[in-house]
Chain A
Amino acid sequence: MSSQPLAPSYATQNALHRVNPCVRLAGAVVLAIVIALTQSLWAATAALLVGSIWLALAVAQQAPMGGFAGQGTSAQGLWRRLAVVNIFVLLLWCTTPWATPGAAVLTLGPVSFTDAGLHLALLVTLKVNALACICMALLATLQIPELTRALRFFRCPDKMVLLLLLAMRNIHVLGEEWQRLRTAARLRGFASRCSLHTYRTLATLLGLLLLRSLDRAARVREALLLRGFHGQFPCPASSAAGALRPMDAVFMLVVLAQAVAIFWLDTGLHA
């Protein structure tokens, strides 16, 4: 459970990572919406191209990054992530080509693949990968403080931001706790099988995890109250939006140009 393998440390930041987080979030949202709505193969191909360029920019200059805990080199890690995303696409490839009504292109025994089905499956594959690239390049590289700053800037409710921070902070802690419980159970001779006993044991461990997390929550709450916490962490001096720099404007212009291009390809060729 590597927490943020793609987020660069401040030492390995490149120009893309130094773009203002609010601008980066906005750019990602714009691109994601435009790509999610494309219907033509050409636009989707262009989107995949755009996505891979951003991804290449994001991982440039930080190739030997040590962040991929247990995932080998950076390139391997990226491929593995894309592969996981494509599992869902694989499910769609298994069903969509023959389930979609349309003109049969290829018939293998009782199954006939239709043109509409193949078109749909291909389109979805391109879009899913394009969006995954964009997400990895522009969002997964955000440090959590940057992300919360951006969310606050866009008026995300305080409670929501706080919830995100708290969850973020404790995922590691609880993950380790779970590993410890699992190890202890394994040492006592527990082996995972499809049986009621396994379910009962796992459920007990899960219950323990929940109870301990609640105890921890109570302690953290008291500690925060003692320190005068009133529902918001103070923002660092480089406050909410941060200063906008020329680079941010360039980034936004490029993103908008790409979005318009994809949109034009989509509507122009669709009609």
Chain B
Amino acid sequence: MHIAEGVLSAPVLVSGAVLACAGTAIGLRRLDFDRLMAVGMLTSAFFVASLIHVPVGVSSAHLLGTGLLGVMLGWAAFPAIVVALALQALFFQYGGLTVLGVNACTMGFAAVLAHGVFRLMLGIGHGPRIRAVAAFACGALGVALAALLTALALAFTDEGFTAAAVALLVAHLPVMLAEGCITMFTVGFMARVRPEVLAVLALCLVAGLAPTAALAHRVNIFAWVEGDSVHVQAGFSRKTPARQSAVTVFRRSPADANDVLLTGATDDTGLFTFAIPAEAREHGLTIRVNAGQGHQNDWTMDAKEFAAATNAKQATQDTPTVNATHEAPTAQPNRPDHAAQKSKTASGNAGRAQPDQHDQPYMADDGPRLRDIIGGLGWIVGLTGMGMAWRARRKSA
């Protein structure tokens, strides 16, 4: 899916470069140093995957991997794709300097869109079948969109390239199917073998892939340990707390009606506090908040988090003047990866009386933000506009 350097016209190159810069900036902002290593490794995996020949009909094609990368990384796929393309330009002269932006856009936005579609479809429901359909759609969509954007870039450069663009699109139809199949099987394999991988990488997929109770609407939960007690905060969106909602605490996940440890209700600010039960230190616990009308969600806490809390408590008892926030960074490096995402957010706020409104992690990652929505609308309008301009041009020609 590389356009060679020297083919496209200046306006296409410039808009590609600008869009690629924007996408990379968003991707880098969403990418912290903890995930950088994994993304770097997946970038090389993506590079290697792009050298894999897959038989399609009588000939063979290269894997593109955009859909898969998008599913695993979300926006972080963008910088990964830029790096992989830069390396391909450096090693094989596929693509090049000036066209890097356009190539990154065609594949990067395809990956991000595939991620969005995957999330959307898993929002509808879950289970292996829906996951398979979603993964197939993502793989196929990744190729289709990349081919479409490449074709558009060609068609907008010169009228003479329109035929080549159409040929490119048609040639990618069978590749779409192959890539969809491969993505479906790969995602299925990973979900079977190591389900947490998909969850950890694409933060927001936690709710979708974990085989817990169905959740109808999303109520956001955030729980943290402070001293002897566990604080739970529940809310619907950035501003609205879940007032007077039923809170049930279970022993370990999956939540089982026989394992209820205690119940209660949140106060008017959506807060609920309870002392750490003895069993939680052994098994961990699951907190379920039911805000009525099908708004329900679970939050799981590992036994380790309580162990860390105990240590922190002891430390504060030894030196009573030390502010509890100082303990926060100590707990991090040697956690197992599957717990890292949640435990990081939990321990990051371990010592604060209440997490600040602006850096609550659950708020940061719930669903599309205003910026995403505006960006998406912009894309739809832009693509429609480009399509209409193209049609108008063909009529006048």
Q: Which residues of A contact B (CB under 8 A)?
A: 1-5, 28-29, 32-33, 35-37, 81-82, 84-85, 88-89, 91-92, 94-96, 98-101, 116-117, 120-121, 124, 127-128, 130-132, 135-136, 139-140, 142, 147, 157, 159-160, 162-171, 173-175, 178, 192-194, 196, 198-200, 202-204, 206-211, 213-214, 216-218, 220-222, 224-225, 231
Contact = CB atoms under 8 A, between A and B. Distances in A.
Contact of B37 (A35, A88, A147, A166): A166
Given A95-B167, A202-B54, A210-B190, A171 B4 contact: no
Considering the complex of A and B, which 8 residue pairs feature the smallest CB-CB distances, nearest first?
A: A166-B40, A100-B160, A203-B185, A127-B6, A99-B163, A207-B189, A217-B41, A95-B163
- Chain A interface main SS type: helix
8 contacts: A36-B99, A101-B159, A120-B160, A127-B7, A174-B45, A203-B185, A206-B186, A209-B48
Contact of B83 (A84, A128, A160): A160
B93 A136 contact: yes
Contact of A204 (B28, B54, B185): B185
Contacts of B186: 203-204, 206-207, 210
B228 interface: no
Contact of A3 (B38, B91, B182): B91
B189 A204 contact: yes
A29 B86 CA distance: 14
Contact of B97 (A29, A203, A209): A29
Contact of A132 (B24, B49, B91, B93): B93
A210 B369 CA distance: 29
B322 interface: no
- Chain B interface main SS type: helix
A135 to B, nearest CB: 5
A100 B159 contact: yes
Given A206-B52, A211-B193, A167 B43 contact: yes
A157 B25 CA distance: 9
A170 B96 contact: no
Interface string B160-184: 1111100110000000001001111
B44 interface: yes
A36 B48 contact: no
A96 B168 CA distance: 13
A147 B87 CA distance: 11
A213 B48 CA distance: 11
Given A132-B5, A206-B49, A163 B167 contact: no
